[in-house]
Structure 1
Amino acid sequence: MHDPSHGHAGHSHSHAPKDFGRAFAIGVGLNLGFVAIEAVFGILANSTALLADAGHNLSDVIGLLIAWGATILAKRPPSERFTYGLRGTSILAALGNALLLIFACGAIAWEAVWRLIEPQEVASVTVMVVAGVGILINSITAWLFMRGRKSDLNIRGAYLHMVADAAVSLGVVVAGGAILLTGWLWLDPLTSLVIVAVILWGTFGLLRDSIRLSLAAVPAHLELTEVKNCLEGLQGVARVHHVHVWAMSTTEVALTAHLVMPGGHPGNAFLEAAAHELRERFGIDHPTLQIELGEGLPDSEAVTAASRHRSQRGPLQSSALP
């Protein structure tokens, strides 16, 4: 015997994406201007390190635009076609950013290898000055996204890009100084390859997490066993099965589960309390709990439980909590 009642409780949006529109606008503006400066002086200084950093910063501008667009789309209300809205675009944006970074790394590495084979003169002082400006700009932009880096994979992608860029610009300054002191021209393309390694290292986690979320995996900060134990510990729950946990976006988590409760439907207060527990302990914003009377019970017990439930609540029906 099954009770097909579904409790949709606790649909709070306390974990919804915060408004980073201003941070994105400032970040895009600063980095776009810096890309132009780096590209011009990279050509004038004949520096692949500067050109590589300019190319990477351009990919970051595109990445910021993608992430910005995703935060806007994530706020769109649900529709008959997209019943969860467009929250999932934030996951796609994080994945797109990771792939964009990998593509940029391939282009940078290709050019750097050729420069290693045929080293060319570099205007070291120009390289150092321009890269120094880059440290300042990237640090400011990273600071703008700092508060959202732990709660939103999409914002984390933007933050990591900026932190990596600041570190890369520092490396370019060091390389320019080393070339100025030693005259070793091969340090310029070598620095480009180090830049690629740094970017790829920082991108791996972003790529892994975004792929997992896009495949509806349990978010990394959750342990499914702990969630199951929590549900099984609720009063009146004999068994839990068909538990599914996935990310609706880079900030919101959903859950569906079947709770076997031989005593009958526990009422809306139970569903509200369960939703609160899941939200507070695990950050699960959208729980859907299906109550079942219990499989394997003797027919007489199942009929008694169902009759008791009907007498208390009327005919079995779906109940939804806001």
Structure 2
Amino acid sequence: MSSHGHQHGSGHTHGGDGHAGHAHGVSADADRRWLTIALALITGFMAIEVVIGVIARSLALISDAAHMLTDAVSIVLALIAMRLAARPARGGFTYGLKRAEILSAQANGLTLLLLGAWLAYEAVERLIDPPEVEGGLVLVTALAGIVVNVAAAWCISKANRSSLNVEGAYQHILNDLFAFIGTAVAGLVVLLTGFARADGIATLVVVALMFKAGYGLLRESGRVFLEAAPAGVDPDALGDELAAQPSVVEVHDLHVWQITSGEPALSAHVLVEPGGDCHGVRRGLEDLLRQDHGITHSTLQVDHAPVPVFAGDLPDGRDLLSARDSSHCAEAHGPVHRPTPHEH
């Protein structure tokens, strides 16, 4: 009974997944196009900036160009990850390579932190011993950089930012935009007042923003790798909600995780009262998960609860948990959810 229900449930949910996958494929092509345009803008301006930086002997501009290089790398990483994630599942990779996108997001977060540390070191050195800065040339180039980064950021914002992978590239571009604004302000201050330390102060403000963005990306990608429940989903509350449905006696081994950004998955073992309709209960739970929680990929093992069901029915007063058939789920992973007495 339960085996058949399980297979039928899998087929049902995979069908839903297929439609979602098709829509995702169309948007992925658009994402690639927008990211490629942003990449062309950034690499073109980066080459010009290196030349101007060398001519002006400006470390500020050359370090900005280095930052743009990491932007370009982050976009290339995002594009490669998209290609890998689009490959069909086969062989030992039963989910395909969807988590390549999460690896890319983690790499982007890490490079933001490392680059922030390097820029912080450079900024402190400049505060201690400020170099000669050609304010005019720095200001003009930084203003041009702002225009290029606004255009690149707009391109990436048109892509699917709910993907951690795209968000990683976006955070790189956004931080580079802040860096150029900081550089432009510093260039203006140097030009008007001759206060060379303005460059280092502006850099430290940008570093703080980089650390914030990098930490956010590492935290979110870490949650996916550690199989944590998606943000906004409380597994305990969800388990109680499933257990409260008609004919459900108990829910245990409940797991909620993300395959990749925007692809939540759930599995659980559900016990139904003796004589209850296992297939009907499973379909009802799947509809609830899909409509109320946006979880389209669910695998539910549905079995009839052993008789007797309720505490006190057994001679020694044991409850359902201790009476459960020992042939499966000898020890539940996580809490066991049961309906409150007034619900049944």
- Cα distance per residue 1:183-204 (max 9 Å; x no partner): 0111122222222122112222
Aligned to 1:86, what secondary structure does the other structure show?
coil
| 1:214 corresponding residue in structure 2 | 225
Contact 1:88 1:248 in 2 (8 A): yes
Contact 2:106 2:218 in 1 (8 A): yes
Deviation at 1:264, TM superposition (A): 5.4
Alignment equivalent of 2:300, drawn from 283, 289, 292? 289
Report the Cα distance in structure 1 between the residues aligned to 2:148 and 2:290, rounded to whole angstroms: 38
**What amino acid is aligned across from residue 10 of structure 1 in structure 2?**
T
Deviation at 1:137, TM superposition (A): 1.7
**What amino acid is aligned across from residue 290 of structure 2 in structure 1?**
R
Deviation at 1:173, TM superposition (A): 1.0
| 1:153 corresponding residue in structure 2 | 164
Q: Could you say if the C-alpha distance between residues 69 and 276 of structure 1 is closer, same or farther in structure 2, counting changes exceeding 3 Å?
A: farther
Once the two structures are overlaid, the 10-residue window that deviates more, 62-71 or 112-121, is 112-121
Contact 1:217 1:246 in 2 (8 A): yes
- Cα distance per residue 1:247-283 (max 9 Å; x no partner): 1012211111111112457355554443333223222
Aligned to 2:210, what secondary structure does the other structure show?
helix
Query: TM-score scaled by structure 1?
Result: 0.84
Alignment equivalent of 2:206, drawn from 177, 195, 206? 195
Q: Work out the number of aligned pairs and report it.
A: 301
Within 5 Å, give how 1:106-125 maps onto structure 2: 106-125=117-136
**What amino acid is aligned across from residue 148 of structure 2 in structure 1?**
I
Q: Could you say if the C-alpha distance between residues 85 and 52 of structure 1 is closer, same or farther in structure 2, counting changes exceeding 3 Å?
A: same
Report the Cα distance in structure 2 between the residues aligned to 1:148 and 1:274, rounded to whole angstroms: 33
- Cα distance per residue 1:155-178 (max 9 Å; x no partner): 222222222222221121111101
Aligned to 2:296, what secondary structure does the other structure show?
strand
- Whether 2:80 is the aligned partner of 1:69: answer yes
Report the Cα distance in structure 2 between the residues aligned to 1:215 and 1:146, rounded to whole angstroms: 28
Report the Cα distance in structure 2 between the residues aligned to 1:54 and 1:131, rounded to whole angstroms: 11
Report the Cα distance in structure 1 between the residues aligned to 2:269 and 2:178, rounded to whole angstroms: 49
| 1:34 corresponding residue in structure 2 | 45
Report the Cα distance in structure 2 between the residues aligned to 1:196 and 1:264, rounded to whole angstroms: 64
Contact 2:273 2:309 in 1 (8 A): no
**What amino acid is aligned across from residue 296 of structure 2 in structure 1?**
D
Within 5 Å, give how 1:173-192 maps onto structure 2: 173-192=184-203
Contact 2:109 2:216 in 1 (8 A): no
| 1:307 corresponding residue in structure 2 | none
Q: Could you say if the C-alpha distance between residues 200 and 259 of structure 1 is closer, same or farther in structure 2, counting changes exceeding 3 Å?
A: same
Alignment equivalent of 2:155, drawn from 138, 144, 163? 144
Contact 1:47 1:188 in 2 (8 A): no
| 1:229 corresponding residue in structure 2 | 240
Within 5 Å, give how 1:1-322 maps onto structure 2: 3-4=2-3, 5-6=5-6, 7-8=9-10, 9-11=12-14, 12-13=16-17, 14=20, 16=24, 18-19=27-28, 20-148=31-159, 151-263=162-274, 266=277, 268=279, 270-295=281-306, 297=308
Aligned to 2:188, what secondary structure does the other structure show?
helix
Query: TM-score scaled by structure 2?
Result: 0.79
Contact 1:49 1:189 in 2 (8 A): no
Contact 1:52 1:192 in 2 (8 A): no
Aligned to 1:121, what secondary structure does the other structure show?
coil
**What amino acid is aligned across from residue 166 of structure 2 in structure 1?**
I
Aligned-residue CA RMSD in angstroms? 2.6
Aligned to 1:72, what secondary structure does the other structure show?
helix
| 1:318 corresponding residue in structure 2 | none
Gaps of 5+ in 1: 303-322
| 2:333 corresponding residue in structure 1 | none
Deviation at 1:116, TM superposition (A): 2.5
Once the two structures are overlaid, the 10-residue window that deviates more, 43-52 or 263-272, is 263-272
Q: Could you say if the C-alpha distance between residues 272 and 54 of structure 1 is closer, same or farther in structure 2, counting changes exceeding 3 Å?
A: farther
Q: Which runs of 4+ in 1 moved over 4 A?
A: 147-150, 267-270, 298-302
Higher relative contact order (CA 8 A, sep 6+): 1
Gaps of 5+ in 2: 315-319, 321-344
Report the Cα distance in structure 1 between the residues aligned to 2:176 and 2:218, rounded to whole angstroms: 18
Deviation at 1:295, TM superposition (A): 4.8
**What amino acid is aligned across from residue 93 of structure 1 in structure 2?**
S
| 1:317 corresponding residue in structure 2 | none
**What amino acid is aligned across from residue 243 of structure 2 in structure 1?**
E
Contact 2:282 2:302 in 1 (8 A): no
| 1:309 corresponding residue in structure 2 | none
**What amino acid is aligned across from residue 257 of structure 2 in structure 1?**
W
**What amino acid is aligned across from residue 73 of structure 1 in structure 2?**
L
Aligned identity (percent) is 36
Q: Could you say if the C-alpha distance between residues 45 and 272 of structure 1 is closer, same or farther in structure 2, counting changes exceeding 3 Å?
A: farther
Q: Could you say if the C-alpha distance between residues 260 and 171 of structure 1 is closer, same or farther in structure 2, counting changes exceeding 3 Å?
A: same
**What amino acid is aligned across from residue 53 of structure 2 in structure 1?**
G
Q: Could you say if the C-alpha distance between residues 273 and 184 of structure 1 is closer, same or farther in structure 2, counting changes exceeding 3 Å?
A: same
